[in-house]
Chain A
Amino acid sequence: MKLSKIGLSLVTGAALLAASVQPAFAGEQKTKPILGIPKSALDDFGGAAGVHAWVESLFYYIMLDNRISHIFREFGNVERQIALNTQLEQMVLGGAVEYQGASMSAAHADLGITMTQFNAVVEAAYNACERNNVPYKTCNHLIAALAPFTRVIVTR
């Protein structure tokens, strides 16, 4: 009886340990584009301040787009999303920044995002680059770094 209890707690402990090293439970991981992300990518974007300004523009354009604004109004606190996205974008561009949000798959699992809606956000991303005078080539490094998330974000 006692022995089996110890056994059970060991199993639970092992499971918890396994969970703690599972990346899915620890936010999001940096993507691995085949052609890499240049070391200068984050600086080219204007560093942390540049990325933050870009994310603010991104949400400005998202909230202006009738195809997608309702999703963000309904499911997220925009201020919080701007803060988290600023972390995420810096991380995928190679910045030493901890992303404190949920994984992309967990964050979008129940939203039923379509490819059309995803592409609308990508269009907003390019508009934000233009608005912030981020060169098209620099912008494409961020797109390359975020593109692999398509698989888990688009669920419909």
Chain B
Amino acid sequence: MNGSQGSKLRLWSCAAIFGAAAAMHSGLASAGYNDGKVFLTGGVFTVDGAGGGGAVPWATITGYETRDGINGGIGYTYANLPALQLNVFGGAIGFYDRFELSYATHKLSLNLSNLDTVALVAEALGGLDLGTDPWNSTLQMDVYGAKLRLFGDAVYTSDSWIPQVAIGGLYKENKTGDLVRTLGASKDKDWEAYLAATKVFFPLSTLVNFTVRYTSANQIGLTGFGECSADGCTNDKEFRFEASVAHLLSKNTAIGFEYQQHGDNLDGKSVSLAGLPLEGLTGLLGNLLPGVEDALTQEKESDWMDVFFAYAPNKNLSFVIAYLMLGNISVAQDQNGFYMSMHATF
């Protein structure tokens, strides 16, 4: 798929989301539109598209609907880190506070000089297609999600320890397979499943969420799934732990913390050239460009952490500002930076 086709497709998917949102706003008014949920209790827009915090999906169902109707919204997230910029656009619809459908599309721009070096070398060597152009590498991913609330009420059962519990599934389709394989991943498309438990503790004015995700993703799938080495490729899923704690300062303002455990599929892996590990080449390159071997070895993938501030001036709009501590991402270290997300609900 060439660039212009890709962007046309994205334009269409954006239009479809706006269309769906508009339909929800007007057409569905008679078919069960509802906005009766209490402030912020539907969560905001995660990077997976699902309702939750910033990275962690919650057991709450997206939107402001109660069990009496349908609601949903669209979200946009921008994260600015030293070596990359992430744009996420998407939308989610909640049905009867029971079921949720979501979509998110990611565009991750990389400015990694060491990856650029590889691309330059590859070009110099005669146009190996690595999925990365010098000075312009962009990872793209689409995420489709569904979530089902199983039991419990996160908000009103203040006399019980039983949280609200939901299961969810995500299908992630990375559109930049060549680049993902250059970074050593096994697959560019895969599914994930998660179980989330959420509870509001009113006396503490605090929401607590724990999520377990069954996945083989590298950097939530942005750098693919599983890993390939000289011995072949593996894509073994494992359970990873995630948590969100949000303290409400007032009914429409929250501060909090998130944690998301990540895997180690690509730890210590050299960037590979068209399926061939780069070790031989880096040896050669090392003579020309000292230190390039280290620079092309991927760091240990760090768990993600962030602290956030969320504000909902009204039920139709919420803003989240966060400081991300994402650690090592691929060949880049210390990726800390700012995150901003807007979620409009209809």
Contact = CB atoms under 8 A, between A and B. Distances in A.
A137 B205 contact: yes
Interface residues of B, number: 27
Contact of B158 (A38, A115, A123, A144): A144
B68 A140 contact: no
By secondary structure, the A interface counts as helix
B69 to A, nearest CB: 7
A96 interface: no
A141 interface: yes
A116 B34 contact: yes
Interface string B103-117: 000000000000000
Interface string B241-278: 00000001111000000000000000000000000000
A67 B202 CA distance: 25
Given A35-B204, A143-B202, A150-B156, A136 B36 contact: no
A36 B68 contact: no
Q: Contact size class for A?
A: 20 to 34
Contacts of A31: 158-159
Contacts of B66: 114-116, 119
Given A136-B251, A148-B157, A116 B69 contact: yes
A147 B200 CA distance: 11
Interface string A110-121: 000011110110
A137 B158 CA distance: 15
Interface of A: 31-38, 67, 114-117, 119-120, 122-123, 126, 136-137, 140-141, 143-145, 147-148, 150-151, 156
The list of the 6 closest CB pairs from A to B, nearest first, reads A116-B36, A144-B202, A115-B66, A150-B156, A147-B158, A35-B203
